[in-house]
Amino acid sequence: MSRSAHPAGPRHADVLTEGHYSAPAADLNVLDEKVWSRTVTRDADGALTVGGIAVARLAEEFGTPAYFLDESDFRARCRAWSEAFGPDADVFYAGKAFLSRAVVRWLKEEGLNLDVCSGGELTTALDAGMPAERIAFHGNNKTVAEIERAVEAGIGRIVLDSFQEIVRVAHIAQRHGVRQRVQIRVTVGVEAHTHEFIATAHEDQKFGIALADGQAAEAVRRALSLDGLDLIGVHSHIGSQIFDMAGFEVSARRVVQLLAEIRDEHGVELPEIDLGGGLGIAYTSEDDPREPHEIAKALSDIVTRECEAAKLRTPRISVEPGRAIVGPTAFTLYEVGTIKPLEGLRTYVSVDGGMSDNIRTALYDAEYSVALVSRTSDAEPMLVRVVGKHCESGDIVVKDAFLPADLAPGDLIAVPATGAYCRSMASNYNHALRPPVVAVRDGEARVIVRRETEEDLLRLDVG
C-alpha cells in the first residue's frame, strides 16, 4: 500500500516538535540488538530470523500471535548469571516471569535454582524434575496445602512473609518431623524507582516484614525459638525493572546490619542473604541495563564491605532474576490487520492479539518497541500505536512507535523483549486463546506451551 493511498499520521518532524516521542531510528530496518534476542538477524530477503528460522515459516507453522523464545539465548543468560556470581553464590530463576517444563529442564541443565510463588509453579518445577532442594518458595499468602506440599517435597527453603506464616510453617514442619530451612523476607524501606505496582520494599504494601520498627528483629526472635524452623537467612526484594543499583546497595547494607544485630542479640551468624530479583532489561533503545557481572560485583562488594565493617563472616548471597533472564529471549509475532490513520494524530495498527497476551502496557504503562519483520521497507517512518483486538480502548501493545508507512494488512510485526510477564500474565479476556510459546534453537522450532484452543475454553465451561 502506498503512502498516498494510506495517509500516515504525522511525519516525524511534527512529532519531534511536539517533544513527546523519540525520533525514529535512522533506518527502521536495522534491528537494535539491545532489544532483540541474540540469534535474531535479518536474512538476505530482509525477513527476521531467529535461531536460523525465518518468521514467515514460523508464522505458517505455528500461527500468530505467538511467542518465539530463543533457547540458546536463554541458556547463555543463565550461564552469564551463574558465572558472574560464581560458586559462592546461588542464582534462583524467578519462575513467575515465565515457567514451563522445558524451562525447568534448561534451568536444571544450566545449574540454576528456581524460585516459585504458587502451588502451580511448584508442581511444574517438581514435575519437570527440578530437585526440591534447589527450589525456594515465596508468597505473602501461601496456603496451608501449599506449605504442606512444599515441606513434604523437601523444598530447599521457604521464604517467610508474615508472623502468622512463621508459626504455620513451624507447625507443619514439626508435624512432618523436619526442620524446614527458611528465610525471613524483610522490607528494607527503599523506594525503588519503578512503577508503584512493581515496587516492593517501601513499607506501605503487602510483602514482607518491616525492618524499620523492629518487626523484622521480632520475626527473627520468633523463628529462632521454634523447633520446626532452621533460619538460614534474610531476604529482600525491592521491586522490578530497576536500573539504578543504589536501591540494591541500600537494601544490602540494611540486610547486613540486621545480620549484625542478630549476631549481637542471639550470638548467631545467619549464613545467607537473598537480595531478590528486579534487574531491568531493555524494552526500547533508550534502556541501558547492567550486565550480570556488573551487578554481581556491585552486590558482592557492598556485602563484603559492610560485613567487614560489622565484623561478620560474609554470608552466601543469592539473587532471583526472572525478567533479566527470560525477558530479552522472546518476541511476540503478530499479523497486522486493520490499519486506521487518524489525521493529525497517529495511525492505529491493529494486530491479532493484544492485552490478553501482553497486559504490561495497560497495567504499568510499559514501553515496548516494534518492527516490521516479514520484509524490509524503504518507506518513510509513520507514528503508530499498536493495538489489539479486544473490546477496550486501553488495549494497547505499543503506545508510540514508528513503522514504515507502507505497512499493510498481512504484514508480520514483532514486539521484542516479551519473554517475561507476558505469557505468564496472559488472559482469556474476550475468550481470546492464549498464544503458544515456541522454543527456537539451531534451526529447529518446537512448541513448549501449546496454543489454547476453543475446546480448551469449552472444557472449563462445564455448562
Q: Is 142 in the site for ligand LLP (CB under 6 A)?
A: no
Q: Smallest distance, Å, CB 273 to ligand LLP?
A: 13
**Pairing between β-strand 66-70 and β-strand 53-54 as defined by DSSP bridges:** unpaired
Q: Smallest distance, Å, CB 289 to ligand LLP?
A: 11
Binding-site size, ligand LLP (CB under 6 A): 23
Q: Length of the chain in residues, anyone? A: 463
Residue closer to ligand LLP, measured from CB, 163 or 364: 364
Taking Cα atoms as reference points, which of 341, 377, 355 lies closest to residue 426?
Answer: 355
How is residue 86 written as a grid cell?
A: 560464581
Is 117 considered catalytic here? Answer: no
The answer to whether 385 and 346 are in contact (CB under 8 A) is yes
Binding residues for ligand LLP restricted to 310-369, rule: CB under 6 A: 320-324, 360, 364
CA angle, 197 then 433 then 437, to 5°: 75
Q: Smallest distance, Å, CB 33 to ligand LLP?
A: 21
Q: Smallest distance, Å, CB 457 to ligand LLP?
A: 24
* Chain centroid, CA 196 distance in Å: 16
Residue closer to ligand LLP, measured from CB, 368 or 421: 421
Catalytic residue among 117, 307, 391, 422: 391
Over its C-alpha atoms, the chain yields an Rg (Å, rounded) of 24
Q: Identify residue 16 by its one-letter amino acid code.
A: L
Half-sphere exposure of 368 (CA within 13 A, CB side): 32
**Pairing between β-strand 272-274 and β-strand 229-235 as defined by DSSP bridges:** parallel
Q: Smallest distance, Å, CB 322 to ligand LLP?
A: 3
Q: Is 157 in the site for ligand LLP (CB under 6 A)?
A: no
Task: List 334's β-bridge partners, or say none.
Answer: 413
Judged by CB under 6 A, the stretch of 91-99, 165-173, 243-251, 433-441 that binds ligand LLP is 91-99
Residue closer to ligand LLP, measured from CB, 84 or 382: 84
Judged by CB under 6 A, the stretch of 18-26, 45-53, 172-180, 420-428 that binds ligand LLP is 420-428
Q: Smallest distance, Å, CB 415 to ligand LLP?
A: 14
Residue closer to ligand LLP, measured from CB, 137 or 334: 137
Looking at residue 326, the DSSP 8-state letter turns out to be H
Taking Cα atoms as reference points, which of 334, 387, 332, 396 lies closest to residue 363?
Answer: 396
Residue closer to ligand LLP, measured from CB, 322 or 404: 322
User: How far apart, in whole angstroms, are the C-alpha atoms of residue 59 and residue 64?
Assistant: 6
Taking Cα atoms as reference points, which of 192, 230, 171, 184 lies closest to residue 210?
Answer: 184
Residue closer to ligand LLP, measured from CB, 165 or 320: 320
Binding interface with ligand LLP (CB under 6 A): 94, 96-97, 115, 138, 198, 237, 240-241, 276-279, 320-324, 360, 364, 420-421, 425
User: Which amino acids are annotated catalytic?
Assistant: 391
